[in-house]
Structure 1
Amino acid sequence: SMWFDALGNRLPTPLFPGFDTLGTLEHLTKTGFDYSWFALTQRIIKREFALSGSEQNPDLTNKDIGLLLQRVVSKSGPAPVEAFKEHGADFVVASNLTDLVQGMNALTDAPRLDPVKLEREITARDREVDNGLTQDQQILAIRAARRYLGDRLIRVAKPHRLLDPAAGPLIAVRLRILTRKTLGGLQTDLSGRVLRADGMPLPGLYAAGEVAGFGGGGMHGYRSLEGTFLGGCLFSGRIAGRAVAAALA
């Protein structure tokens, strides 16, 4: 996918999908808008879009090899992804760029995207796909990722021109800025007791997990990874639980 801000400017290197999320967030918040855009094709969405949750990945959840192989051979993406593409409020699908931009502008409070500007950005990128000596860092990164067989077969689409009708239809997705995690807020002692501003325990109140700093931030630091939160949350929960049991014994 190509990533554009609300005004149709391609995000700079290395702010590509799946790269420096925190850097991308910092960049987008400086644009003055709380959303941005992915521009992609059907060929990309069927490989590279994944939804969170076991119910959204029936091939993996049910260990269905046949269904998993459809990601490779089918022109459609997984059924949950296709449902989002068809019904999602932030998805726009069109057969040409003019109609795509018109649909994108219809989702916002003002028509901020210029189809000529967006076509210029996409065409410049498309030219680099056929250039064996390209210096487009996103294309180089995609080629590097596809050296791994698993990514090449299932997860990363082969670089292609976005405006190639054979790869279509064109798809745009509006991305909104949000936070999904509690980044701390309650200070606790080593028993999980919540501390007041004066440093004394608040009687009967214990905290664990993300709200106690065991999620993003806190013990995990500034650029914490979501998948690492669980261990600290479980550990702090055990500490707090044992402390409560001891206090009630």
Structure 2
Amino acid sequence: MNYKEILLYGIYSDLRTEVARRFLGFLWWIIDPVLYMGAFYVVFALALRQGGEDYAPFLLIGMVVWKWFDSTVRQASVAIVGNAGLIQQIHIPKSLLVLIQIFSNAFKFIIVLVLLLVFLLAIGKRPSLHWLALVPIILTQLYLVTAVGLLLAGIIPLAQDFKQVVDNLLMVMMFLSGIFFTADRMPDSLRFAFELNPMVVLIQAFRSVLLHNQWPDPSHLLYVLVVATPLLIFAVLFIRKNERRYPKLML
């Protein structure tokens, strides 16, 4: 079995196992993000009365995009540690374990994205050719989560306490990624730093396409690729260098 077959089988097995161990099966892939987004909508849109008429789709787009990044990075970061028993028994490229988590979450994101598109159509948003731009935006975010996921997955087995730092950083990052507000709500002195966050760029790109039927700025997507590429290169080299150390660290 070659690495491609291992990857595809791993993704299939991961999804099937997740469905089998949940009472509601694959429906939980839908229920979980809906509950997650609904809770924030109740707090920010209803209780705190943030935003205006289009705040619901504005918020939901941000939450769907962020949820993909957040859940993927969290799960990918512990992919090597979580498979300690497996890697102590057989040799398997550790990056494959991380990629299985990344692509499994990408599959679930597509399901949630389809539901989001149905919601937008139901509230009167009209599709256009601009929606085709979702493909490069999705691929750009997939590239980013792959880079971050591999990097964290390589580091955490060497310093497992770092997982707590990652969890807290992701929580802080959620409020600084433009999910609840746009860059024009930030003070001028902080706006430049705010827009350096790749997730701000990606969430804005999704909103431009889905809410305003506008093409995303190619330079913004290129910026995300420029940020992610050195992270990805370093992550791949780092994991490769420590391939044989990981099983010993988790004895």
Give TM-score scaled by structure 1 length: 0.26
Instruction: Indicate the structure whose relative CO is greater, using CA pairs within 8 Å and at least 6 residues apart.
Output: 2
From the two aligned structures, give the one with the greater helix fraction. Answer: 2
Instruction: Return the index of the structure with the highest Cα Rg.
Output: 1
Per the normalisation by structure 2, the TM-score is 0.26
Higher strand share: 1
